[in-house]
Amino acid sequence: MTNITFSVDDDIHKKMKEHPEIKWTEILRQSIVNYLKNVEEIDVISIKDFRERLDPELLQKIEALEEQEEILFYKEAKKMEQERLNRLQDLERSSDN
C-alpha cells in the first residue's frame, strides 16, 4: 500500500481534531475510490445504458444515423463528457485553494 500526504487548511484541521472518533484516512480512501468509480464509469458504460439515459428526441435523431455516424457520435459524446468531468475537477481544485 502506498502512503500519500495531503494538506488541509488550519481551520479544517482544527475541526477534524474535534472528532477523533472519525477515521479520516478511511473517509479519504473511500472518497477517492468513489470519485474514481464516477470518472471511470464513462469508460465502462455500455451503448445500451448510454442510450437509455438519452432524451427520447435525441435518441430518435441518433437512430436515424448511419452506423459509422452513430459510432462517431458516441465517441464525441464520450470525449465531451470527459472534458466536462475534467472541468469539474478543475473547479473543485480551484475551490480548495
pLDDT tens track, the chain, 97 positions? 888 898 999 999 999 999 999 999 999 999 999 888 877 765 556 677 777 888 888 888 888 888 888 888 888 887 888 888 888 888 888 876 6
What is the pLDDT, as a whole number, of residue 41?
Answer: 67
Phi and psi (nearest 5°) for 88? -60, -40
Eight-class DSSP state of 65: S
Question: Would you say residue 4 lies in a domain?
Answer: no
Question: Would you say residue 11 lies in a domain?
Answer: no
Could you tell me the residue range of the domain that residue 67 belongs to? 23-96
Question: Would you say residue 9 lies in a domain?
Answer: no
Give me 77's grid cell. Answer: 459524446
What is the pLDDT, as a whole number, of residue 24?
Answer: 93
Question: Would you say residue 88 lies in a domain?
Answer: yes
Question: Would you say residue 14 lies in a domain?
Answer: no
